[in-house]
């Protein structure tokens, strides 16, 4: 091995080690969001298939709002990582303080939108029963939106300064509390009335506020708070954060478009039948759960690329991006093998209803093909944002998910009568398109 080869191998090992060190707690934190939904889905599904339909319908717009909020607040982690790479620690704390009022404002807007469930679901072609049931769940979920936005932006700040562990701890504790609360409120245990899907929404809302306030308290009282100047007031939280918001606008629109496209597919499922909607909810949840590992690795990749960008190291930026894609693809391939081999066994975690299980097991097996492409596209999008290429990933996401996935899925479901499986086939096609065009974009910029 030549000296150059040895140097490259050493740098690659360093990148992988640093990526995993940063990503591991972020993966737990991001996956925790989906674990919370998975637990709620299983609890509600075992309670009633009809309540599962209400739950799944409510989470279509709720997930759009949370995903859009994640994107809009992504400027916090990007600006923090850039400031850290440039050695400006005080700017890291200012980025967090500026993001706090913005996060609460977004949460309030999402809470108000969540009160419009009935007309939104009627416009989406749902039956009156589904519209009313889903709207009741959505209204309760909206109450937790401000707390969730506080958790997201504070977690982003901690990730940007390479301290993601507190966010992971908050998420683990939140999941434990949510599981207990959901069991009590959905099934009516511990003296509570049985609230069904609405009970799971109350559990989620209470836990989101607890996680958000808990993480804010950690940052405020951490031992080296003076180093980051997290307590220094910032009067220009809006006017001084234009660049920070600008970085988030593109990511928010990108994730919003993607989440909206998946919500449209959920509405398609509801038009087919409540059973199809329940199957889509379970199947998509099982894709989203390992996908959160990709989100965590993507976030860590974005930080690594962003720090290298702050140093002006083009070669390190490229290696950080491709390392993130390779590690994510390998990890999700392992999960995909399990989905292909054990779809029925995995399905029984969610339901014992024979009809629902027969409908969802083929979706689990097919979902294995989606994982790698879908995970890869989120890593490459974060890598591009890490080097300040904000709007092109948004445009490419729009093409992949709005222009390709929605019409292709509609054709497969309604034109070719493929049912819920047609929805998953549309997701696969769009994900392959997305990871391909984003990778080509990153390769092009890496040569500049």
Which tens digit of pLDDT belongs to each residue from 233-242? 887 778 877 7
CA–CA separation, 93 vs 76, rounded Å? 10
CA–CA separation, 289 vs 267, rounded Å? 21
Predicted confidence at residue 214, as pLDDT, reads: 96
Cβ atoms 368, 351 nearer than 8 A: no
**Which positions ≥6 away from 129 have C-beta within 8 Å?**
none
CA–CA separation, 55 vs 37, rounded Å? 10
Place of tokens 């097991």: 361
Alpha carbon distances (Å) from 178 to 183, 270, 295, 341: 8, 27, 22, 30
Predicted confidence at residue 12, as pLDDT, reads: 66
CA–CA separation, 431 vs 265, rounded Å? 14
Nearest to 86 by CA among 307, 277, 295: 307
Predicted confidence at residue 229, as pLDDT, reads: 87
Tokens of 224: 């080296």
The low-confidence residues of the chain, meaning pLDDT below 50, are none
Nearest to 427 by CA among 283, 299, 303, 253: 283
Which tens digit of pLDDT belongs to each residue from 301-310? 877 787 777 6
Place of tokens 């991001």: 30
Give the HSE-up count for residue 7: Cα atoms under 13 Å, Cβ half-sphere.
5
The three-class DSSP label of residue 273 is: coil
* Global pTM value: 0.75
Cβ atoms 431, 377 nearer than 8 A: yes
CA–CA separation, 357 vs 15, rounded Å? 42
CA–CA separation, 153 vs 159, rounded Å? 10
Helix (H) or strand (E) holding 388: none
Nearest to 135 by CA among 191, 211, 69, 198: 198
Average pLDDT, the chain: 86
Predicted confidence at residue 344, as pLDDT, reads: 86
How many other CB atoms are there within 10 angstroms of residue 122's CB atom?
15
DSSP 278-291: HHHHHHHHHHHHHH
The three-class DSSP label of residue 73 is: coil
> What burial letters (b/e) apply to 390-418, b meaning 16+ CB within 10 Å?
bebbbebbbebbbebbbebbbebbeeeeb
> What burial letters (b/e) apply to 12-49, b meaning 16+ CB within 10 Å?
eeebeebbeebbbbbbbbbbbbbbbbbbbbbbbbbbbb
**Which positions ≥6 away from 31 have C-beta within 8 Å?**
289, 290, 292, 293, 296
Which tens digit of pLDDT belongs to each residue from 246-277? 878 877 887 788 788 888 888 888 888 888 88
């Amino acid at each position: 091995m030549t000296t150059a080869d040895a140097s490259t191998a050493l740098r690659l090992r360093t990148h992988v080690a640093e990526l995993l060190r940063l990503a591991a707690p972020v993966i737990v934190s991001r996956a925790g969001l989906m674990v919370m939904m998975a637990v709620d889905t299983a609890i509600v599904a075992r309670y009633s298939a009809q309540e599962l339909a209400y739950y799944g319908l409510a989470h279509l717009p709720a997930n759009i709002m949370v995903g859009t909020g994640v994107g809009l607040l992504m400027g916090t982690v990007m600006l923090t990582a850039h400031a850290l790479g440039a050695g400006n620690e005080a700017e890291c704390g200012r980025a967090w303080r500026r993001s706090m009022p913005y996060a609460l404002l977004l949460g309030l807007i999402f809470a108000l939108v969540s009160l419009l469930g009935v007309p939104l679901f009627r416009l989406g072609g749902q039956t009156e029963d589904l519209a009313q049931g889903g709207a009741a769940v959505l209204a309760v979920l909206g109450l937790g939106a401000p707390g969730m936005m506080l958790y997201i932006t504070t977690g982003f700040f901690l990730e940007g300064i390479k301290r993601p562990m507190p966010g992971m701890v908050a998420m683990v504790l939140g999941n434990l509390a949510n599981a207990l609360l959901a069991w009590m409120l959905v099934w009516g245990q511990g003296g509570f009335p049985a609230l069904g899907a609405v009970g799971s929404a109350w559990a989620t809302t209470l836990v989101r506020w607890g996680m958000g306030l808990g993480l804010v308290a950690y940052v405020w009282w951490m031992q080296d708070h003076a180093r980051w100047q997290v307590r220094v007031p910032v009067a220009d939280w809006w006017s001084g954060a234009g660049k920070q918001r600008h970085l988030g606008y593109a990511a928010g629109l990108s994730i919003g478009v993607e989440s909206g496209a998946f919500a449209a597919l959920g509405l398609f499922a509801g038009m087919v039948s409540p059973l199809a909607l329940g199957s889509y909810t379970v199947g998509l949840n099982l894709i989203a759960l390992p996908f959160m590992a990709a989100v965590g690795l993507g976030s860590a990749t974005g930080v690594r690329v962003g720090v290298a960008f702050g140093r002006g190291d083009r070669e390190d930026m490229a290696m950080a991006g491709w390392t993130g894609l390779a590690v994510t693809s390998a990890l999700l391939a392992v999960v995909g093998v399990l989905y292909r081999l054990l779809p029925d066994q995995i399905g029984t975690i969610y339901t014992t209803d024979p009809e629902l299980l027969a409908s969802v097991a083929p979706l689990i097996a097919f979902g294995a093909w989606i994982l790698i492409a879908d995970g890869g596209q989120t890593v490459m999008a974060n890598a591009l944002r890490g080097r300040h290429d904000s709007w092109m990933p948004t445009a490419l996401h729009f093409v992949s998910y709005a222009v390709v996935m929605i019409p292709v899925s509609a054709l497969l479901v309604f034109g070719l009568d493929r049912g819920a499986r047609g929805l998953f086939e549309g997701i696969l096609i769009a994900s392959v398109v997305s990871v391909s065009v984003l990778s080509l974009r990153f390769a092009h910029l890496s040569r500049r």
